[in-house]
Structures are given as C-alpha cells and as structure tokens.
Chains A and B, each alone.
Chain A
C-alpha cells in the first residue's frame, strides 16, 4: 500500500517487499476502473448518437414521412419505412420531443426552480439554527432530517397520496416529494460550511458594532454561504430534475414530470425519440454534475435517493 510514499519511507527494504502483491491490487483497481468508465460512458454516447440518427437501429426503424408524424403525433416503435430520408443525421427527434413532451420539460424546470428557492430559505435558516443553537430534541431533529436519504421514494409517494390526495390535480403535491428529497442536500451543504470555520465570531463582531439582524444576514451570513448555496442549488437542481421514485405515482397526465414522461417515450415511441428525450435530460444534467465535481463539492459524498 505504500507504493505512493515509498520514496519517503525510511525503510526502503520493506517498502520494496510490499510492492509486488499490491501491484496486482493496483492492476485490479485499474482494470475495474476502466470497465466502469466504459460501462458509464458507452450507453450515454449511444443514446446521444441515437438521438440524432435516422438510421434504423436497435431494431426500431423510425419514419418521419406520412401521417404518423403529422396527425398521430406518435411515431410508434415499429413504424416501419424510410431510412435516411433526410440524410444520416437529423434534429427532428428533438423537435418531436419538444413539441409532444415540451410541457413536461417545463414542469420539471418549474419544480426544480421552486425546489431551489424553497430549500435555500429552509436550508439557510434551518441550517443556521441547527449549527448555532443547542436545544432539546436537536439530535432527534438531525436524525429526522437525514431520514429522506434512506427512505424509499415510493413509500413517501403513497403517504403523500393518502394524505394530500385531494390536491393531486395541482403540482404542489409533486413539489412536496421533491422538496423532501432535495432539502437534506441543501442543509448538508449549508451546515458543513457553517461548521468549517468560526463563522459566529464574525457575526458577533458585527453585532457588537451595531449591525441589526437584517444587516448581519445580508452582509455576513449570505456572502459567507455563497459557495455553499451555489453548490447546494446545483445538487437540488440535478436531484429534482431526475427525481422519479417519489414523483411517478404523484404525476397525472396533465402534471407530468420529465422523468415520468421518459417512461411514456420508452413504452410508446421509437428508439430515436426515446434517445432524444433522454438526451435532453442528460445534456442538462451532466454539465451540472461536472460543474459540481469541479467546484469541489464535498457534499456529493453524502449520497441519497436519486435513483
């Protein structure tokens, strides 16, 4: 295990001895890593490719000629017919997705934006209170807050349906599920920043100089939490946009989220249309995920229920 630090180890003999068996371990790690990278990247690339192609592939030929496209608005998985009617690549599948499933993309973005706003308010104030104060039942509250990280989404969906079924026609009930599964991430982001340095000294200094509550919030708390709020918002955005377990049961044909509508495309549409719909999702989410990684989001370590 000492391969990396062998040079600085004062016992070079032992370090060399230990090198042989663990290079096998390194080889295993490298091999597995390559397989995993392949397994992650390949389907994503095939899906992106499939969203542009007009070739009949994966057993599902699509056509854009004829009445199917114009009137039925559904190409059907086995809609046979012309290949390469418009050359090898087309943006038509995206046009179809935006036309037929555009409202689901809109609803998902609306849910994500609302989730970000609400979790910022709840997360900043709640996180501040949790770190700053001691109060009876604090340990219990912290446990309750972490429950959504392990609670199956379908359980809460059934519970919400039973309790708030009366407002099922509005998208508020879906928002409840999204908030429940995104809030822990915002809270974690905020509390880990507040705990990481002695923030309250700053605030006390400001208070002793006569800053009122609003001034402390505006000039001390929010600027110091800027990074945490941005990372938290990006996490909330990706989780909310991809949330399926809790929201699928709560969606209605009118209030359909993007992941829920993906299920419709998989069961009703061709491979190309399914790929295009999935690609819309991936092209939004993957850059955000990358941004979180490259901004150094330690918060990603604590992981939850996105699947």
Chain B
C-alpha cells in the first residue's frame, strides 16, 4: 500500500505489546515463579526452620505447590468440582439456549429485538449480583418457594440457592446470553441448502438430523462450550455468596489469600486455573475452526 515500512507497524503495535506484557504476561510469569517457592505450610511441615529464617534462594525452588494442587485432596476436590460443574453447566446451557438461538435465526416474530435484548441482560451482571438474584428467586424464602407454596401448598426449591444444584442454576443463568449469542452466530453460518438438498433426496427427519444437521451443529456447540466453560471456570462471585460447605476452585484461591495469606499456594493454583481454562478454551476454539473448515471444504 504505502512504502514498505518497518517502523510504522511498530509505532501502532508497540503500545499494545507493552500493555499486554506489563499487565498480563509479566505478572503471570512472575506468579508462575512465585508458585515455585515453598509455601509457609510446606516449610512448617518439613520442619526445616532454618529455611524460614534465611531468605529463600534458587536451591529452595520446588514444584511442591503445583503438585499439591493435583494430589492434595483438599485442592483437588475443588478443582474437580469446578471442572465437573463447568462441564455440566455448559451442556445444560446449550440444551436450553439452542431453542432461543434457533428462534432468533430461523423465525420472525414481533418483539424479536426486545427478546434478544432481554436475554443479554445477565451478560453485564457480575457473579455477586447473580448470587443475590438467586437468593431472591430460590433462597430460603425466595420467590419460587413462596409462589409454589401459594399455588400448591408446598414450597418448591426452598433454600435451593445454597446447594450445588442452585449454584448450577445460577451459573446457567449467567450463561444464557453467552450460550444464546454464540449459538446464534454459529447457526447463522449454516448452509441451509444442505438440509434442503438432503430432504429433496428423500432423507427422513432423523436422517437429516443425523447426517446433515448434527455435523453442522458440532462446531457451533464446540465453540459455545469454549466460551461457557471458560466463564464458568473463572466465576467466583456466585460461589462466594452462596456456597458455605463446598468450594469451587477460584473461591479456594481467594480463600488462600484472604484467609491463609498463602501467596505461593494461591499463585500456583492461579497458574493451574489459568493454564487449564485458557488451554481448554484454545483447544476447543481451534477444533471448531478446523472442523468448520473441514466440513465446508468437503461441501
């Protein structure tokens, strides 16, 4: 376009690079290294009090914190809970939100914009607010229990908000806009002629679903899981307000700092959480892209 310039791109890009280095990459690498230092707990357990006395050097570096995340039942259980919860919430939110996404793409009805606008409301709410709204709806004297008590005489969903089921419902609630909008934009990319062609060739509904629509839907579902899974893994406001007994992994990180002042352990846990979440998100996105390209290339 213009003369070949090596300085010009740097002029525009450098602020961006500096920003991401300073605010994300450097602190994260710094935290990775900090996670290698033995935590106070480890020093006490090993009884090496002379380690605590002097300043820590390179010789003291250990993978102990990182290993503990996966081996210590205390940390592992909350990590597993987070992974399972995020997976279940992703599956359920897709099963629910594929309906509205479908309507938004394939149907015309009055108030469609308002419909979509209402479904995007949970997007801007932080987890803490969603926890409060869950208490309003399915808390001890929430709206749903009171309504059902008035209607059928039996309160349904009393104090559900404080159970894992209630936590899952609250998670699905904040996934509504994310799942709907991601599915909508993915379904919009469908080549509907393939469906018509299959039907004109005599495919039954089941065959059309099995051989045409499901392959088309797969990348849409995978890219939606990529979004919803990552958001569920990172959310901790809801659990902070609702959970008293069990603990999701981000909440456990918060507790490590807030209650135990265990910065090394919290650092190691944050690294594990970040790497797992970003890694799964990246893998799923790449899979969806490749799958989509593959299907399109095949025609």
Contacts and interface: CB of A to CB of B under 8 A. Distances in A.
B270 A130 contact: no
A32 B95 CA distance: 10
Given A158-B31, A248-B237, A29 B103 contact: yes
Q: SS class of chain B's interface: helix, strand, loop or mixed? A: helix
A122 to B, nearest CB: 6
Interface in A119-159: 121-122, 125-126, 128-130, 132-135, 141, 143-145, 147-156, 158-159
Given A39-B173, A162-B27, A241-B124, A303 B195 contact: no
A176 interface: yes
B243 interface: no
B12 A126 contact: yes
Contact of B30 (A159, A285, A293): A159
Contacts of A126: 12-13, 15-16
Interface in B9-23: 9-13, 15-17, 19-20, 23
Interface in B206-234: 208, 213, 226-227, 230-231, 233-234
Given A278-B132, A303-B177, A152 B250 contact: yes
B166 interface: no
B205 interface: yes
Contacts of A274: 132
Contacts of A158: 31, 253, 257, 263, 266-267, 270
A125 B120 contact: no
Nearest to B133: A43
A150 B277 contact: yes
Interface string B259-285: 000010011001101100110011000
The bracket for how many chain A residues form the interface is: 35 or more
A1 interface: yes
Interface in B113-164: 113, 115-134, 136-137, 139-143
Interface stretch (B41-49, B57-65, B178-186): B178-186
A305 B113 contact: no
B26 interface: yes
A294 B117 contact: yes
B56 interface: no
Interface string A214-241: 0000000000000000000000001101
A286 B176 contact: no
Contacts of A109: none
Interface stretch (A14-22, A66-74, A82-90): A14-22
Given A33-B100, A245-B237, A155 B126 contact: no
B165 interface: no
A305 B234 contact: yes
Interface residues of B, number: 105
Given A40-B118, A162-B267, A259 B13 contact: no
B67 interface: no
Contacts of B132: 47, 262, 266, 274, 278
Nearest to A274: B132
Given A40-B118, A307-B126, A163 B30 contact: yes
Contact of A289 (B107, B121, B205): B121
A4 to B, nearest CB: 6
Given A4-B108, A29-B102, A303-B123, A37 B241 contact: no
A243 B126 contact: yes
B20 to A, nearest CB: 6
A79 interface: no
A46 interface: yes
Contacts of B227: 150, 303
A266 B205 contact: no
B297 interface: no
Contact of A278 (B129, B178, B181, B236): B129
A33 B205 contact: no
A78 interface: no
A152 to B, nearest CB: 3
Interface string A22-60: 100110111111011101111110110010000000110
A22 B199 CA distance: 13
A245 B129 CA distance: 12
A2 interface: yes
A93 interface: no
B290 interface: no
Contacts of B74: none
B130 A307 contact: yes
Contacts of A260: 128
Query: Which 3 interchain pairs have the tightest Cβ spacing?
Result: A129-B12, A152-B234, A244-B126
Given A154-B236, A158-B267, A163-B31, 6 more contacts: A37-B118, A132-B9, A151-B277, A155-B234, A304-B231, A307-B237
19 contacts: A9-B196, A32-B96, A32-B97, A33-B100, A36-B97, A44-B121, A122-B15, A150-B227, A151-B24, A152-B250, A159-B31, A162-B267, A180-B23, A241-B124, A248-B240, A263-B128, A289-B121, A303-B177, A306-B124
